[in-house]
């Protein structure tokens, strides 16, 4: 059973909602603008969680351990250590504790946590659980209408099995088949960006202006929602955007379709100034995830708002030449396509921090944004991981996460250990 109600120092129970919706149904114009995701090919990180604390009502007393404190295994009893590892085992190695592990815990108490975790991350079961972690995060698996939704999971398994840097999940120049042999990624794009250039990721997130694709990319690999910090993602030049997206107030709105904005108010530029940056990377991918060299990003004059022609989506940009570009910038750095954007993303501290957060979400069994974590936890984790290895494996991220004292103490307290 996954843990609920972890509040203590580690978590502050709070419902999180986004002020900017990735659902094109809230965009001006009629219709949902999206296609229903296939089984295992859902919207993943593009889905906005709007209700529930994700943690029940149980409140834990403060532990007094800050996210940056050093883990002292000698302070953990055998009862606490067993309670902790008993909770971790089903998610990390997909089983319960063995007799040998229980004996080791009895003898070493809290100091058994690290060696047992280390051993787990070397096992085939961890490879399998890592596949499941990514598949659940992105909501992809199986086969549907000729699309292989297992490819992202194959990549996760390959990286973990071969102890490759986890950043390759969105920067790899190749994909992998079911036997983990290299193969070309399946979008037909002249570049590769790991799972981002798979039809499983792109084709399962078709929406007007490519909003679902942009949102899923940022939520899953930077743990950011719109609007985000300006110092992380500078906005697109306002005058480059279609007039609809330039407005920050009713007085600034010159497009009559802006009057249909019900859910997001009239401050279009607040969110779409950043949305437009990330959506542009998907402008040449059609509704099935196939890259179309001739895509222009220009609005189809006969089509629904946000749609271009031949199954592709419209750009936010009003200039026809810019509208067809595959990228302008990412996190303030020039990026001419999705592959360059991905490399910039993994160079940002947010990538390692987000990888740890997404794994913790997976362990707890909650959707992204369902729990408000202590804001100091993940930057501190990221700093410690990068100090040890700038480009860590998933094994190293998981080890750092589950030996963090605030995580250990909070899970033990919630488990009654």
Structural domain boundaries of the chain? 11-16+52-120+348-415, 24-50+130-347
> What's the CA gap between 130 and 135, in Å, rounded?
9
So what's the pLDDT on residue 260?
A: 55
Give 259's strand partners.
none
39 close to 142: Cβ distance less than 8 angstroms: yes
Residue 244 parent element (H or E): helix 243-246
Phi, psi torsion values for 341, nearest 5 degrees = -60, -45
Q: What are phi and psi of 333, to 5 degrees?
A: -110, 145
**pLDDT for 66:** 40
Q: What is the pLDDT of residue 367?
A: 73
Measured CA to CA in angstroms, residue 319 lies from 240, 241, 243, 285, 296 at distances of 7, 8, 11, 19, 11
CB distance 142 to 150 below 8 Å: yes
DSSP letter at 70 equals P
Burial class (CB in 10 A: 0-12, 13-18, 19+), 390: exposed
What gap in Å lies between CA 55 and CA 371, rounded to an integer? 7
The alpha helices in 288-393, defined as continuous H runs, are 320-323, 338-347, 349-364, 377-388
pLDDT of residue 254: 73
Q: Per-residue confidence of the chain (417 residues) as pLDDT tens digits?
A: 455 444 434 543 322 233 454 543 333 332 333 333 333 333 333 322 222 333 332 223 333 334 445 678 999 999 999 999 999 999 999 999 999 999 999 999 999 999 999 999 999 999 999 999 999 999 999 999 999 999 999 999 999 999 999 999 999 999 999 999 999 999 999 999 999 999 999 998 999 999 999 999 999 999 999 999 999 999 999 999 999 899 887 677 777 666 555 445 556 898 999 999 999 999 999 999 999 999 999 999 999 999 999 999 999 999 999 999 999 999 999 999 999 999 999 999 999 999 999 999 999 887 766 677 887 899 999 999 999 999 999 999 999 999 999 999 999 998 876
Helices (H), 13-123: 78-92, 99-108, 113-120
Spatial contact of 119 and 89, defined as CB atoms under 8 Å apart: no
Rg of the chain (C-alpha set): 22
Distance of CA 41 to the CA centre of its chain: 15
Which value, to the nearest 10 degrees, does the dihedral of the CA atoms of residues 189, 190, 192, 193 take? -70
Residue 39: the pLDDT is 34
**Minimal CA–CA distance to 305: which of 225, 251, 245?**
245
The answer to whether 72 and 403 have CB atoms below 8 angstroms apart is no
Q: Is 333 helix (H, G, I), strand (E, B) or coil?
A: strand
What gap in Å lies between CA 396 and CA 356, rounded to an integer?
10
Q: What is the pLDDT of residue 266?
A: 57
CA distance 415 to 3: 8
Residues 284/202, Cβ–Cβ less than 8 Å:
no
Question: What is the C-alpha separation between 406 and 69, in angstroms, rounded?
Answer: 8
- Are 53 and 89 within 8 A, CB to CB? no
DSSP state of 330: E
């Amino acid at each position: 059973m996954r843990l609920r109600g972890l509040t203590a120092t580690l978590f502050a129970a709070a419902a999180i909602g986004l002020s900017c919706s990735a659902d094109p149904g809230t965009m001006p114009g009629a219709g949902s603008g999206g296609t229903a995701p296939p089984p295992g090919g859902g919207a993943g990180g593009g889905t906005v969680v709007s209700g529930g604390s994700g943690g029940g009502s149980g409140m834990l007393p403060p532990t007094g351990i800050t996210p940056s404190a050093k883990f002292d295994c000698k302070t953990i009893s055998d009862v606490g250590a067993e309670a902790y590892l008993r909770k971790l085992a089903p998610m990390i190695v997909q089983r319960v504790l063995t007799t040998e592990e229980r004996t080791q815990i009895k003898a070493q108490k809290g100091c058994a946590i690290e060696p047992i975790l280390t051993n787990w991350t070397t096992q085939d079961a961890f490879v399998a659980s890592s596949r499941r972690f990514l598949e659940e995060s992105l909501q992809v698996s199986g086969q549907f209408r000729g699309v292989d939704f297992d490819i992202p999971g194959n990549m996760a398994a390959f990286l973990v099995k071969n102890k490759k840097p986890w950043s390759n999940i969105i920067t790899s120049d190749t994909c992998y088949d079911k036997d983990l042999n290299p193969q070309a990624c399946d979008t037909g794009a002249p570049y590769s960006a790991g799972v981002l250039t798979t039809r499983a990721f792109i084709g399962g997130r078709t929406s007007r202006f490519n909003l679902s694709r942009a949102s899923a990319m940022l939520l899953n690999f930077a743990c950011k929602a719109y609007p985000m910090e300006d110092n992380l993602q500078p906005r697109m030049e306002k005058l480059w955007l279609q007039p609809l997206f330039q407005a920050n107030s009713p007085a600034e709105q010159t497009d009559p379709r802006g009057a249909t904005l019900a859910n997001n108010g009239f401050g279009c530029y607040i969110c779409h100034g950043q949305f437009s940056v990330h959506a542009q990377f998907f402008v040449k991918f059609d509704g099935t995830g196939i890259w179309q060299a001739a895509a222009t990003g220009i609005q189809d004059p006969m089509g629904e708002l946000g749609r271009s022609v031949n199954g592709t989506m419209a750009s936010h940009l009003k200039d026809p030449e810019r509208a067809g570009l595959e990228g302008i910038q990412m996190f303030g750095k020039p990026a001419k396509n999705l592959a360059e954007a991905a490399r910039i993303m993994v160079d940002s501290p947010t990538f390692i921090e987000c990888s740890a957060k997404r794994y913790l979400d997976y362990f707890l069994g909650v959707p992204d944004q369902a729990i408000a974590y202590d804001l100091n936890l993940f930057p501190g984790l990221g700093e410690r991981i990068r100090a040890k290895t700038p480009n860590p494996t998933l094994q190293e991220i998981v080890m750092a996460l589950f030996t963090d004292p605030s995580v250990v103490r909070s899970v033990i307290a919630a488990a009654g250990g």
